[in-house]
Amino acid sequence: MSSDPSVKLPKLTKVAIYAALIMLSIPAILPLLWMVSTSLKTNTQIFGSGELNLKALIPSPLETHNYPAALQNMPFLLYLRNTLLLCICSVVGAVVSSAVVAYGFAKIEFPGRNGMFAVMIATMALPGQVTMIPIFSLFRSLGWYGTYLPLIIPAFTSSAYYVFLLTQFFRTLPLEMSEAARVDGAGEWTIFQRLVLPLSKPALATCALFQFIGTWNDFLGPLLYLNDPAKYTLAYGLQQFVSHYGGFFAQLMAAATIFTIPIIILFFFAQKTFIQGISTTGGK
């Protein structure tokens, strides 16, 4: 039972492996199934504590009213619109700025480059709490409190993590092409835009995906900066929903399900991009 791929497994070992996989899958997946299942139950089904069996997992009859009810108590479509708006702005901002910065670090030589790169990497370990209060007071004095600007503008100053990822990627691109273009008199911006960007779609997609999910999930940002319920995002809205309707489990799970499903769908569509991106994080 080693991770050695060259060993053929005996039948009994295989059975043991499948048994272990199935046993361990239960705590991983059951809470999610339970979430969806609860969202499709009536209160009687939820509070009537019978014996727990497979039947308890599949609601019968199916109660679909929790979804419209949750949508009524929580302006889901408005929150969805707000969240998507923020996601799009911050994805564009973070990906474009990070790509530009990464090109500078990867392909252009200038004094202080390596030092700056090292400092940038080091900032990734700086806890956000240290800078949170002055940044808040800065944005507040600019009159940005209660607007989306504090949640969008910082994205346009690039993200150390994406810059790192893209720098690694740009360095692997063949130089001959850009040298040829340079001889032909092309500027760095042209090379970046015409040659490097089209070749970097997979890496850019990884950054875009992570930024999208990060913004979709972000709770602290909206908590600090948004004060008008009409501007709330899904993550913030769901938390507000809990504090007001904590006991309405069916509706709560319906809201949590609608909030989670898009991310899961996104995962299934972009599985490869996902896994590659995470694997590159792996500390090298």
Partner 1 sequence: MARRSNHKAKQYLTGYLFVSPWLIGFLAFTVWPFFQSIYLSFTRYNIVSPAKWVGTANYRMLLTQDELFWKSAWVTIKFAIISVPLAIVVGIALALLLNINVKGITVFRTIFYLPSIVPTVATSVLFIWILNPNIGLVNRVLEIFGIKGPAWLNTSPWAFYSLVMMSLWGVGGSMIIYLAGLKDIPVHLYEAATIDGANAIRKMRHITLPMMTPVIFFNLVMGIIGSFQYFTQAFVIAPNGGPQDSTYFYSLYLYNRAWKYLDMGYASAMAWMLFLIVIVLTGLVFRTQKKWVHYGG
Sign of torsion over alpha carbons 85, 90, 91, 96:
positive
Query: Least CB distance from residue 64 to partner 1, whole Å?
Result: 19
* CB of 140 vs partner 1, minimal distance in Å: 7
Q: Rounded to the nearest whole angstrom, what is the least distance from the CB of residue 92 to partner 1 in the complex?
A: 13
Nearest approach in angstroms of CB 283 to partner 1 is 3
CB of 2 to partner 1, least distance (A): 4
Residues 6+ apart with CB under 8 A from 244: 73
User: How distant is the alpha carbon of residue 165 from its chain centre?
Assistant: 16
Q: How many CB atoms lie within 10 A of CB 130?
A: 8
Least distance CB 178 / partner 1 (angstroms)? 13
Identify whether 61 is preceded by a cis peptide bond (ω within 30 of 0).
yes
Residue type, 123: T
Name the minimum Å distance from CB 188 to partner 1: 5
Exposure class string for 26-35: b at 16+ Cβ within 10 A, else e: eeeeeeeeee
Instruction: At 85, list the tokens.
Output: 């708006």
Q: Among residues 14 and 65, whose Cβ is nearest to partner 1?
A: 14
Nearest-approach distance from CB 113 to partner 1, in angstroms: 7
Q: How far apart are the first and last CA of the chain?
A: 27
Structure tokens at 90: 């911050």
Residue with the two structure tokens 């019978």:
50
